[in-house]
């Protein structure tokens, strides 16, 4: 790494301006900020983002999975890139910071490198991964799945409630699903991946820390359950003769809650956050109910065992109520343990920026989960005010974002130098 002058510091005013501008790309019919993947407002936001990448001096392209990639060449073209990334899609009625700060901090890092005439040996890539948040197709981390080689042909055939396939959605975002394999990177194609993200929980704020060194990331098992009963008249069908799919689904939800409250050797949570009912009429017994199920843990075996116990219990519930049950495994994302070498890089970078940092596990999944399968990863957290996220109240102090950006750039230069030293 060639370097002149003092180590650069991020500019809060530029970060704030970029965050504010990105927040303008939102579905104004929704509360908070809604920029769902595969919508026109999402595409508009990415067009603006691409212009910001290019203004910072990055060469941009869209890969086959519609990942938006900006690249800064290094001194040694034979080296694999160091990658910084996250996402700019949001959940419905979400906040302004989840994912967004990781992408914008990467652009700010590039601006600082160029302004201070620091040339890395490695190329540097900033990636806005496609559709990190859960989608109407039942899966998340779509862009990073493609990069890691985990986006299957079967996933591309998944359909949203309007009958649109995931392949069609990727094409609408600028990708090329017929050539999805070209987005895949093999082990060794990425030197390292770093991601700056809001914590999305209360730990850092409660402990009065400015930065977080992520030691591990939970895995996520997602299931889709279809419970089928009989859509009969709500007034004329006796309670003892009903085949109410929603009532059975409610019992299944409580069964999952009970399982995940039992003592375990690792953190474990279970959620049914989306229920779709048909015919969804006030005077008709629910004939069909769909449940989107999510189980998270840092222990892959515990996730699998809990999923199996849950499905076994659901079968018993369905049988007792004369209901039909179908289950589909939508995705499995393995937990990630951050390598000690990468944690040490992040730890040193954070301590250089602020003495007030902590080490913690991420209870949220990230694009880093996917990239960890092909490259070493590191993550930096900044505090979330009141621990809120995935809601309009999501907020993070701008100085914490600046500090996180400074730590992120230090991670890049440290990795670049470590690779040069062979350490």
The tokens of 267 are what?
Answer: 């953190």
Does domain 12-218+335-421 correspond to CATH entry 3.40.630.10?
yes
Question: If DSSP states are collapsed to H, E and C, what string results for the chain?
Answer: CECCCCCCCCCHHHHHHHHHHHHCCCCCCCCCECCCCCCHHHHHHHHHHHHHHHHCCCEEEECCCCCEEEEECCCCCCCCCEEEEECCCCCCCECCCCCHHHHHHHHHHHHHHHHCCCECCCCEEEEECCCCCCCCCCCCCHHHHHHHCCCCHHHHCCECCCCCEHHHHHHHCCCCHHHHHHHCCCCCCCCEEEEEEECCCCHHHHCCCCEEEEEEECEEEEEEEEEECCCCECCCCCHHHCCCHHHHHHHHHHHHHHHHHCCCCCCEEEEEEEEEEECCCCCECCCEEEEEEEEEECCHHHHHHHHHHHHHHHHHHHHHCCCEEEEEEEEEECCEECCHHHHHHHHHHHHHHCCCEEEEEECCCCHHHHHCCCCCEEEEEECCHHHCCCCCCCCCCHHHHHHHHHHHHHHHHHHHHHHHHCC
Separation between Cα atoms, residue 21 and residue 15, nearest integer Å: 10
CA-angle at 138, arms to 167 and 142, nearest 5°:
50
Residue owning tokens 């890395």: 120
Domain with CATH 3.30.70.360 in the chain: 219-333
Q: pLDDT tens digits, residue range 210-239?
A: 999 999 999 999 999 999 999 999 999 999
Residues of the chain with CATH 3.40.630.10: 12-218+335-421
For 281-308, what is the mean pLDDT? Answer: 97
Q: What is the pTM of this model?
A: 0.88
| Residue whose entry in the numeric block shows the structure tokens 């007034």 | 235
pLDDT at 422: 53
**For residue 67, what are the contacts with CB-CB under 8 A and spacing of at least 6?**
127, 128, 129, 130, 143, 144, 146, 147, 175, 183
**What pairs with residue 213 in β-bridges?**
359, 380
Q: Six-digit token pair at 411? A: 């991670």
Q: For residues 192 and 215, give the distance between their C-alpha atoms in angstroms, rounded to a whole number.
A: 16
Q: What's the average model confidence in pLDDT over 288-317?
A: 97
Mean pLDDT, to the nearest integer, of 269-290? 97
User: 219-333 adopts what CATH topology?
Assistant: Alpha-Beta Plaits (3.30.70)
Average pLDDT over residues 137-146: 96
Mean pLDDT score across all residues of the chain? 96
Share of the chain above pLDDT 90, in %: 96
- Residue 134 CA to residue 99 CA, distance in Å, equals 13
Q: What pLDDT sits at residue 169?
A: 98
What confidence score (pLDDT) does residue 196 get? 98
Q: Is residue 7 very low, low, confident or very high in pLDDT (cuts 50, 70, 90)?
A: confident
Beta bridge pairs of residue 192: 82
Instruction: Report d(CA 367, CA 41) in Å as an integer.
Output: 22
**pLDDT classification of 418: cutoffs 50, 70, 90:** confident
pLDDT digits (tens, 9 = 90+) for 116-140: 999 999 999 999 999 999 999 999 9
Give the Cα separation of 56 and 84 in Å (integer). 15
Evaluate if residue 3 carries a pLDDT over 80.
Answer: no
pLDDT, tens digit (0-9, with 9 covering 90-100), for 320-358: 999 999 999 998 999 999 999 999 999 999 999 999 999
Q: How far is CA 411 from the centre of its chain?
A: 21
């Amino acid at each position: 790494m060639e370097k002149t002058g003092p180590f650069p510091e991020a500019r809060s005013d530029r970060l704030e301006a970029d965050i504010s501008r990105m927040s303008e790309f939102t579905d104004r019919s929704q509360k908070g900020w809604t920029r769902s993947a595969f919508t026109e407002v999402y595409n508009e936001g990415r067009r603006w983002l691409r212009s910001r990448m290019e203004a910072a001096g990055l060469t941009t392209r869209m890969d086959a999975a519609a990942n938006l990639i900006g690249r800064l060449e290094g001194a040694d073209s034979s080296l694999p890139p160091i990658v910084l990334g996250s996402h700019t899609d949001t959940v419905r009625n979400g906040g302004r910071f989840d994912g967004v700060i990781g992408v914008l901090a990467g652009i700010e890092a590039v601006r600082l490198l160029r302004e201070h005439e620091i040339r890395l040996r490695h190329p540097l890539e900033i990636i806005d991964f496609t559709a990190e948040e859960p989608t109407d197709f039942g899966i998340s981390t779509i862009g990073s799945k493609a990069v890691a080689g985990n986006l299957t042909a079967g996933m591309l055939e998944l359909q949203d409630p309007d009958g649109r396939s995931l392949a069609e959605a990727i094409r609408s975002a600028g990708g090329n699903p017929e050539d999805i394999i070209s987005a895949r990177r093999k082990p060794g194609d990425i030197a390292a991946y770093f991601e700056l993200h809001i914590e999305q929980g209360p730990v850092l704020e409660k402990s009065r820390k400015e930065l977080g060194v992520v030691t591990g990331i939970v895995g996520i098992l997602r299931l889709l359950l279809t419970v089928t009963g009989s859509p009969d008249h709500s007034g004329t069908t006796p309670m003892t003769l009903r085949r109410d799919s929603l009532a059975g689904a409610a019992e299944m939800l409580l069964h999952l809650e009970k399982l995940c409250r039992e003592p375990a050797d690792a953190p474990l949570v279970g959620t049914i956050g989306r229920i779709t009912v048909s015919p969804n009429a006030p005077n008709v017994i629910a004939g069909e109910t769909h449940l989107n199920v999510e189980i998270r843990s840092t222990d892959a075996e515990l996730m699998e065992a809990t999923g199996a116990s849950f499905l076994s219990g659901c079968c018993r519930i369905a049988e007792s109520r004369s209901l039909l049950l179908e289950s589909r495994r939508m995705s499995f994302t393995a937990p990630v343990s951050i390598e000690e070498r990468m944690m040490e890089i992040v730890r040193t970078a954070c301590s250089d920026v602020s003495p007030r940092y902590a080490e913690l596990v991420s209870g949220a999944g990230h694009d880093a989960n996917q990239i960890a399968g092909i490259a070493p990863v590191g993550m930096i957290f900044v505090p979330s005010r009141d621990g809120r996220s995935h809601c309009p109240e999501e907020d993070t102090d701008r100085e914490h974002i600046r500090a996180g950006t400074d730590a992120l750039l230090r991670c890049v230069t440290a990795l670049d130098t470590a690779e040069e030293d062979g350490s």
